[in-house]
């Protein structure tokens, strides 16, 4: 198919490389260097989508990031991506895209009926319509809104692409490679600064690619090309195209997203799709340029109405005509460049200029070329449904209030220019209080907040000469501050055409008796009458008007609509624009892929995985693992067809009967040394520590200052001034920080050092009635008798040539030992224990059996020490020293904490001795009570007691102390069950603790 709108000799595309692509299932051709938009326009396609609310036909409006219309669903690598701007998506072989927000097709869209029902879709439609009846919300309103919301559809699949993060530091970051960006980057780089230059588009040069100017003795385009190639050679310069700096954060941290493979047919296996750069810059030069703003007129959303600068860009960069019979509508000089470009390429346009009698070099040039110019003329309305066919035009009075006779004029596109809006987003994000500049009717950055300097048209400078002077100076000045070098470059001579002043005019009045829709915001279908209605209804703040009407929202964030919206509000309110103010500019400037934000931290890389030295043994022996903090721990060791319940029961029963071994490497371990270590522990733990002899361990509980239990564990005195503390797996890091806080900040006079040794030691807990016999065989030279190594005793020995620490401590409630060896000997230790334990019928046990053993013994753990309980609640009040002060002690005298009916840990068994009670169930007195049924407590942990062969749970129960023997109900609304239960002592097995001491 021929490309009817492609010119032969103009453009920067590669005509030697034809590229085929599909749009809405139909095959087309373009060239390498095209965007999807330019290729479609070259093929005469202007209808790309349907609008958000009214489903009106939508074409192309811009040629870059500001595009409000041309949002498509993209297909690539057998995957789909929503919300892709056709004006930014580069063409690649095999690209497929589809229109969104239309059904059954973009040509015939059922939803377009909304256009005729528009009386039902006024501003605040959602707020007004979906109010009542309440019962409609869930089944009717919400599904409707969900279906209507957004444009494309996200892929339901896992994103297989790679996204990378990179951290970079530089002296000067420059955002945008137009004339101002190139000049400042060049000046700064030549003065020795480390420079990063970021360009959002594939091509460097910005407006120099399309403007008819000369710098030095070459064209602007060639000057840009030469500067870029010189910069690329410099070792102190990083220069990136397809890279959008979208966010300006605190302390001069900026984030840039680089599209690495989006323009390629398929991502290389090891190449990321996008890369997110976190850049800490000493100085930032914002050279983001400006965006042309539209003039508002009737049906100004018709496909074929485009920004005049976009028409010029399609022509000069892509060699593409947006139309062959263009009408150009302007209030300033820049649109004349577009008219002249058309003329140069044999296309006659008609220029309507709202100004009465402007006079400038470029207007004279246009006149001399024979271009038809009508001053004091405006476009009243565009005609045509799926494409502009003609326009209603009229003369306008000097005060811009009265239209003359309206006449029809044939055209196939309308190029509109309402002057320029500086892109101040980054400056504003930095905290810069922007100010309104009445010379250009737009906001520009004010006083810098962070180290940011805005140059060029982003700062409201529209003459190239001034821009270069200012930008060369900024690059030199800011780099000098950092490098202390003084290599100042001469600013090149510029030839450009001087402009005359633009007209403040921005909105064409309605002719008598006509009620055209005049769009302010094209992406969200916000019209002039919507904003007028919002203000009539009492919305005053521009932030409220925005949210009520959706003006300036969605993926383009009002890049082309915000300022006209402000003009309208200030006109109606009879205020000046600066007192209305603009809405807040928040990052990101353009939409960023979620994948890019997440980077590589997905799946198993979302957090580190820690494995014990015995991990591979566990793996080899059918361990099923569970996440414990960031550790992987064996939950159970599967034998045959066992499930979790059967395996954990077997493992726990074997501990009670014979002997078991559990990997306890993950427990937090902290080495504590120093002459004041005993005093420190005495302050940190609630019980007494000064008299703990060397070679003994003690159980301790530590509180937060508010009296809540923070953690528990045993600490052993290894030698006079050396202790070994253990913490729970989950709290290890917090406890270390807690200890460091008190040692460094609160009691710096204490001479104590703490360091984490969690990873230095591998630990195995050997538990069960036969554990002593096993220990004796593992350590033949050690006296393992109860007299020589009693409960809570500690000794050191040698495990077949490997030094070992031996603690007689127990979490299972059985006679038990814990052996620690250096991590690299962990597996050796484990295999020895298993090998020698065989004759005692040893079995490894996982965390599930470990829980069972501790629950039926009534040992509290994380599910009871849940950050809401005090020592009494856990039955630990016996560990509170009355003789000394400790962290959190004063809080325990609080009225609520000394109440006699406080919650307390209890045991719970179902009356039928069969039904397991789900963890989290509530305990209530009467299951039939009117709701809300008062909750007396909750089930904190459940197991199947291997001792009694029935279910057993722990609960935190109000007035638990006096509830033993009571009958209650455990209800779980989630599982829709209620179980009659009996409250018993939490010490279900061996309440006197005889086994551990045996």
Partner 1 sequence: MLHIKCPHCGLRSQNEFSYGGDGTIKRPELNKEISDQDWNNFVYNRKSPRGKHVELWQHISGCRQWIKVQRDTVTHEIFQTADVKQDIK
The site map against partner 1 for 184-223 (x = CB under 8 A) is ----------------------------------------
Tokens standing for 868?
Answer: 């809401």
Q: Of 603 and 748, which has the nearer Cβ to partner 1?
A: 748
Q: How far apart are CA 49 and CA 95, in angstroms?
A: 17
> What's the token pair of residue 474?
């900024």
Task: Give the count of residues interacting with partner 1 (CB under 8 A).
Answer: 25
Closest separation in Å from C-beta 705 to partner 1: 5
Indicate the residue among 131 and 898 with the shorter CB distance to partner 1.
898
Rounded-to-integer distance, Cα 496 and Cα 464, Å:
7
774-833 positions binding partner 1, by CB under 8 A:
none
Which residues are CB-neighbours of 780 under 8 A, at least 6 positions away? none
Q: Minimum distance from CB of 713 to partner 1 (Å)?
A: 20
Under 8 Å between Cβ of 58 and 70: yes
Nearer to partner 1 (CB atom), residue 183 or residue 887? 887
Closest approach, Cβ 634 to partner 1, in A, equals 29
> 10 Å Cβ neighbour count for 386?
16
Taking the C-alpha atoms of residue 914 and residue 179, their distance in angstroms, rounded to an integer, is: 80
Minimum distance of partner 1 from residue 719's CB (angstroms): 24
The least distance separating partner 1 from the CB of residue 750, rounded to whole angstroms, comes to: 11
483 binds partner 1 (CB under 8 A): no
| Minimum distance of partner 1 from residue 763's CB (angstroms) | 23
Choice between 407 and 706, CB closer to partner 1: 706
Between 142 and 885, whose beta carbon lies closer to partner 1?
A: 885
Contacts of 189 (CB under 8 A, 6+ apart): 195, 231, 234, 236, 237, 475, 479
Options 10-18, 249-257, 570-578, 942-950: segment touching partner 1 (CB under 8 A):
249-257
Q: Which is nearer to partner 1, 185 or 672 (CB)?
A: 672
Query: For residues 821 and 804, is the Cβ–Cβ distance under 8 A?
Result: yes
Report the C-alpha gap between 823 and 832 in whole angstroms: 15
3-state secondary structure 230-258: HHHHCCCEEEECCEEEEEEEHHHEEEEEE
Query: Of the candidates 249, 375, 385, 699, which one interacts with partner 1 according to CB under 8 A?
Result: 249
CB of 249 to partner 1, least distance (A): 6
- Choosing from 253, 489, 836, 879, the residue that interacts with partner 1 (CB under 8 A) is 253
Ranges assigned E (strand) in 599-732: 623-628, 631-637, 660-663, 668-673, 697-703, 709-719, 722-727
Nearest to 735 by CA among 770, 710, 769, 706: 710
Residue from 706, 796, 835, 994 in contact with partner 1 (CB under 8 A):
706
Q: Are 360 and 498 in contact (CB under 8 A)?
A: yes
Class of residue 190 by CB neighbours under 10 A (exposed 0-12, middle 13-18, buried 19+)? buried
252 binds partner 1 per the rule CB under 8 A: yes
Place of tokens 């969104």: 100
Binding residue for partner 1, selected from 22, 165, 225, 280, defined by CB under 8 A: 280
Q: Rounded to whole angstroms, how far apart are CA atoms 369 and 813?
A: 100
State which residue, 143 or 431, has the beta carbon closest to partner 1: 431
Smaller CB separation from partner 1, 252 or 863: 252
In 3-state terms, what secondary structure has residue 298? strand
* 328 or 672: CB nearest partner 1: 672
Beta carbon nearer to partner 1, 37 or 281:
281
Stretch that binds partner 1, among 66-74, 246-254, 316-324, 814-822 (CB under 8 A): 246-254
Nearest-5° Cα angle at 247, 269 to 546: 120
Q: Compute, in degrees rounded to 10, the torsion defined by CA atoms 157, 158, 162, 163.
A: 100
Stretch that binds partner 1, among 170-178, 248-256, 305-313, 687-695 (CB under 8 A): 248-256
Cα torsion at 257, 260, 151, 58 (round to 10°)?
100
**Binding partner 1 by CB under 8 A: which of 132, 134, 157, 250?**
250
Least gap, CB of 893 to partner 1 (angstroms): 8
Which CB, 540 or 586, lies closer to partner 1? 586
Residues numbered 109 to 138 that lie near partner 1 (CB under 8 A) are: none
Tokens, residue 194:
């480390």
Rounded to whole angstroms, how far apart are CA atoms 361 and 499? 7
Q: Does 537 bind partner 1 (CB under 8 A)?
A: no
Which tokens sit at 542? 């521009």
For the segment 422-461, give every residue that binds partner 1 (CB under 8 A).
431, 449
**Longest pairwise C-alpha distance within the chain:** 114
Rounded to whole angstroms, the Cα distance separating 61 from 392 reads 20
* DSSP designation for 765: E
Token pair belonging to 547: 């949210």
C-alpha distances out from residue 615 to 623, 640, 824, Å: 9, 20, 12
Residue 470 is classified by DSSP as H
Binding characters for partner 1, 379-398, by CB under 8 A (x = yes)? --------------------
Smallest separation, CB 762 to partner 1 (Å): 24
Instruction: Kindly state the smallest distance separating residue 282's Cβ from partner 1, in Å.
Output: 11
Pick between residue 737 and residue 787 the one whose CB is nearest to partner 1.
Answer: 737
In the bound complex, what is the minimum distance in angstroms from residue 741's beta carbon to partner 1?
6
Q: Which of 234-242, 251-259, 539-547, 690-698 is the region at the interface with partner 1 (rule: CB under 8 A)?
A: 251-259
Strand, coil or helix: 458: helix
Which alpha helices (H) appear in 431-463, and where do they start and end?
Answer: none
Site for partner 1 in 832-891 (CB under 8 A): 884-885, 890-891
CB 931: neighbour CB atoms within 10 A?
Answer: 5
**HSE-up of residue 234 (Cα within 13 Å, Cβ side):** 23
Using CA atoms, how far apart are residues 33 and 202, in angstroms rounded to an integer?
A: 9
Query: Cα dist. 553→39, 150, 208 in Å?
Result: 28, 11, 31
213/752 with CB nearer partner 1:
752
Of 743 and 815, the one with the shorter C-beta distance to partner 1 is 743
- Alpha-carbon distance of 626 to 246, in angstroms, equals 40
> In the bound complex, what is the minimum distance in angstroms from residue 738's beta carbon to partner 1?
10
Kindly tell me which residue out of 142, 230, 487, 705 binds partner 1, with binding defined by CB under 8 A. Answer: 705
> Least CB distance from residue 243 to partner 1, whole Å?
19
In angstroms, what is the minimal distance from the CB of 601 to partner 1? 12
Which residue's CB is nearer to partner 1, number 277 or number 807?
Answer: 277
Name which position in 29, 126, 141, 278 contacts partner 1 (CB under 8 A): 278
| Geometric angle at alpha carbon 927, from 925 and 929, rounded to 5° | 85
Tell me whether residue 746 or residue 788 sits nearer to partner 1 (CB atom): 746
Stretch 728-767 residues interacting with partner 1 (CB under 8 A): 737, 740-741, 744-746, 748
The smaller minimum CB distance to partner 1, of residues 103 and 167, is found at 167
Cβ proximity to partner 1: between 168 and 822 the closer is 168
Binders in 165-184 for partner 1, by CB under 8 A:
167
Work out how close the CB of 120 gets to partner 1 at its nearest, in angstroms, rounded to a whole number: 45
Site residues, partner 1 (CB under 8 A): 167, 249-253, 278, 280, 431, 449, 683, 705-706, 737, 740-741, 744-746, 748, 884-885, 890-891, 894
């Amino acid at each position: 198919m021929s490309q009817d709108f492609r010119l032969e000799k103009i453009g920067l595309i590669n005509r030697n490389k034809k590229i085929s692509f599909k749009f809405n299932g139909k095959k087309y051709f373009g060239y390498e260097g095209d965007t999807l938009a330019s290729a479609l326009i070259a093929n005469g396609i202007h209808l790309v989508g349907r609008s958000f609310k009214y489903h009106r036909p939508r074409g192309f409006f811009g040629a870059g990031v500001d595009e409000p219309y041309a949002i498509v669903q993209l297909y690539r690598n057998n995957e789909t991506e929503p919300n892709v701007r056709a004006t930014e998506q580069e063409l690649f072989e095999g690209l497929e895209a589809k229109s969104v927000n239309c059904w059954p097709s973009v040509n015939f869209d059922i939803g377009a009926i909304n256009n005729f029902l528009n009386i039902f879709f006024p501003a605040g439609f959602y707020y007004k319509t979906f109010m009542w009846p309440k019962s409609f919300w869930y089944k009717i309103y919400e599904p409707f809104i969900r279906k209507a919301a957004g444009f494309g559809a996200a892929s339901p699949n896992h994103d297989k692409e790679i996204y990378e993060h990179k951290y970079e530091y530089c002296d000067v970051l420059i955002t945008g490679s137009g004339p101002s960006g190139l000049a400042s980057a060049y000046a700064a780089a030549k003065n020795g600064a480390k420079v990063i230059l970021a360009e959002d588009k594939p091509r460097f040069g910005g407006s120099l690619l399309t403007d008819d100017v000369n710098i030095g003795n070459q064209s602007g385009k060639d000057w840009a090309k030469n500067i870029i190639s010189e910069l690329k050679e410099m070792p102190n310069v990083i220069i990136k195209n397809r890279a959008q700096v979208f966010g300006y954060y605190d302390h001069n941290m900026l984030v840039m997203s680089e599209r690495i493979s989006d323009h390629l047919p398929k991502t290389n296996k090891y190449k990321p799709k996008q890369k997110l750069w976190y850049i800490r810059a000493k100085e930032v030069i914002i050279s983001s340029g400006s965006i042309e703003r539209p003039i508002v007129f009737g049906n100004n959303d018709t496909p074929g109405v485009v920004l005049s600068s976009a028409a010029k860009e399609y022509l000069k960069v892509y060699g593409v005509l947006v139309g062959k019979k263009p009408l150009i509508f302007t209030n300033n000089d820049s649109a004349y460049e577009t008219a002249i470009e058309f003329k140069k390429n044999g296309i006659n346009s008609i220029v309507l200029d709202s100004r009465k009698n402007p006079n400038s070099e470029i207007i004279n040039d246009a006149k001399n070329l024979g271009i038809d110019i009508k001053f004091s003329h405006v476009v009243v309305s565009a005609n045509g449904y799926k494409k502009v066919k003609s326009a209603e035009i009229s003369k306008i009075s000097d005060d811009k209030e009265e239209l003359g006779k309206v006449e029809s004029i044939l055209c196939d596109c309308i190029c509109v220019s309402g002057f320029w809006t500086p892109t101040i987003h980054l400056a504003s994000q930095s905290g810069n209080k922007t100010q309104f500049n009445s010379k250009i009717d737009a906001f520009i950055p004010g006083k810098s907040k962070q180290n940011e300097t805005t140059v060029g048209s982003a700062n409201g400078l529209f003459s190239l000469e001034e821009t270069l002077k200012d930008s060369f100076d900024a690059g030199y000045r800011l780099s000098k501050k950092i490098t202390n070098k003084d290599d100042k470059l001469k600013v090149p001579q510029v030839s450009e055409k001087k402009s005359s002043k633009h007209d403040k005019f921005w909105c064409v009045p309605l002719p008598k008796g006509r009620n055209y829709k005049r769009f302010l915001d094209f992406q969200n279908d916000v019209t002039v009458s919507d904003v007028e209605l919002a203000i009539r209804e009492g919305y005053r703040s521009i932030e409220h008007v925005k949210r009520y009407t959706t003006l300036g929202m969605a993926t383009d964030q009002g890049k082309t609509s915000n300022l006209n919206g402000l003009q309208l509000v200030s006109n109606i309110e009879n205020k000046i624009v600066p007192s209305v103010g603009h809405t807040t500019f928040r990052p990101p400037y353009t939409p960023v892929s979620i994948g890019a934000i997440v980077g590589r931290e997905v799946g198993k890389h979302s957090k580190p995985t820690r494995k014990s030295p015995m991990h591979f043994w566990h793996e080899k022996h059918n361990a099923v693992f569970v996440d414990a903090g960031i550790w992987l721990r064996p939950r159970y060791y599967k034998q045959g067809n066992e499930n979790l319940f059967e395996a954990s029961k077997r493992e726990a029963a074997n501990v009670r009967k014979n002997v078991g071994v559990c990997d306890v490497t993950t427990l937090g371990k902290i080495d504590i040394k120093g002459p004041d270590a005993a005093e420190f522990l005495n302050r940190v733990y609630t019980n007494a520590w000064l008299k703990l002899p060397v070679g003994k361990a003690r159980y301790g509980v530590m509180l937060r200052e508010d009296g809540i239990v923070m953690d528990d564990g045993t600490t052993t005195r290894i030698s006079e001034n050396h202790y070994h503390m253990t913490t729970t797996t989950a709290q290890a890091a917090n406890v270390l920080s807690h200890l460091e806080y008190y040692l460094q900040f609160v009691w710096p006079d204490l001479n104590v050092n703490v360091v984490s040794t969690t990873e230095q030691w591998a630990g195995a807990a050997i538990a069960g009635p036969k554990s002593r016999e096993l220990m004796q065989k593992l350590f033949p030279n050690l006296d393992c008798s109860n007299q020589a190594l009693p409960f809570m005793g500690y000794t050191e020995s040698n495990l077949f040539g490997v030094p070992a620490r031996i603690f007689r401590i127990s979490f299972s409630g059985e006679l038990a030992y814990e052996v620690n060896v250096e991590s690299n000997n962990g597996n050796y230790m484990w295999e020895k224990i298993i090998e020698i334990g065989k004759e005692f019928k040893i079995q490894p046990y996982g965390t599930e059996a470990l829980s069972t053993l501790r629950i039926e013994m009534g040992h509290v753990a994380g599910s009871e020490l849940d950050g809401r309980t005090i020592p009494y609640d856990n039955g630990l009040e016996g560990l509170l020293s009355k003789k000394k002060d400790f962290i959190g002690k004063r809080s325990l005298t609080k009225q609520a904490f000394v109440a006699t009916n406080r919650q307390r840990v209890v045991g719970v068994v179902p009356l039928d001795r069969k039904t397991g009670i789900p963890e989290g169930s509530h305990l209530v007195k009467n299951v039939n009570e009117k709701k809300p049924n008062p909750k007396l407590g909750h089930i904190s942990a459940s197991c199947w007691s291997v001792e009694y062969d029935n279910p057993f749970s722990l609960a935190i129960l109000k007035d638990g102390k006096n509830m033993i023997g009571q009958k209650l109900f455990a209800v779980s609304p989630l599982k829709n069950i209620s179980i009659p239960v009996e409250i018993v002592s939490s010490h279900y097995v061996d309440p006197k603790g005889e086994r551990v001491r045996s």
